[in-house]
Chain A
Amino acid sequence: QKEVEQDPGPLSVPEGAIVSLNCTYSNSAFQYFMWYRQYSRKGPELLMYTYSSGNKEDGRFTAQVDKSSKYISLFIRDSQPSDSATYLCAMSEQQAGTALIFGKGTTLSVSS
């Protein structure tokens, strides 16, 4: 079993839809959870960062972490064509320690 599981999609939605992206993980020591957005042939850019369980909201984006279920989510409200990209979840055990463990990424396409 891989440490981080993420459905690669692709996921296609119409403009304005609410998008839900998810990852599950097996390592209970993970404490730091991140969502990155990666456009084609570009490096990832950090979207959301969460420590431990809970919710975090930033504009149209909401990140949720449920450590008891080892499940994290990213919600995108009022999706736009510019949101079309690959979304990668990433996590780590320590704040200043090991490198990130990434999911495979989910490819999202928002049509206008």
Chain B
Amino acid sequence: GAVVSQHPSRVICKSGTSVKIECRSLDFQATTMFWYRQFPKQSLMLMATSNEGSKATYEQGVEKDKFLINHASLTLSTLTVTSAHPEDSSFYICSARDPAGGISYNEQFFGPGTRLTVL
């Protein structure tokens, strides 16, 4: 299957700083990428849908000015957590849809996740 990578895998930062997380599709071009957040023992919650070359669509309750998403190329989307606070500590996972592959057009390939800890 298609491969999606994330960087960094783990980050610890001080409260008030900004953190950038990268999501890359390694062997396919992803016109659409998704960003999810997962708290311990909770489900993956969709934060935003990122389309290459256009503004991201945020889910209700997700602050677009706090979670900046950029999808500047077909293989890279970035999530920047601005002015991070301890309550932003979570597991952030991206996924990418491969329009030319997968078992269906809807199949999403997930990255390994980034664990963010804000002190």
Contacts and interface: CB of A to CB of B under 8 A. Distances in A.
B112 interface: yes
B75 interface: no
Contacts of A99: 34, 46, 49, 108
Contacts, number: 59
A42 interface: yes
Contact of B106 (A6, A8, A92, A103): A92
Contacts of A96: 105-106
B110 interface: yes
Nearest to A2: B43
Contact of A8 (B4, B34, B41, B44): B41
Contact of A43 (B46, B49, B103, B111): B111
B108 A49 contact: no
Interface in B5-60: 6, 34, 41-46, 49
A104 B93 CA distance: 15
B42 A104 contact: yes
A2 to B, nearest CB: 9
Given A44-B93, A49-B103, 4 more contacts: A41-B113, A46-B1, A51-B104, A100-B34
Interface of B: 1, 4, 6, 34, 41-46, 49, 91, 93, 95, 103-113, 115
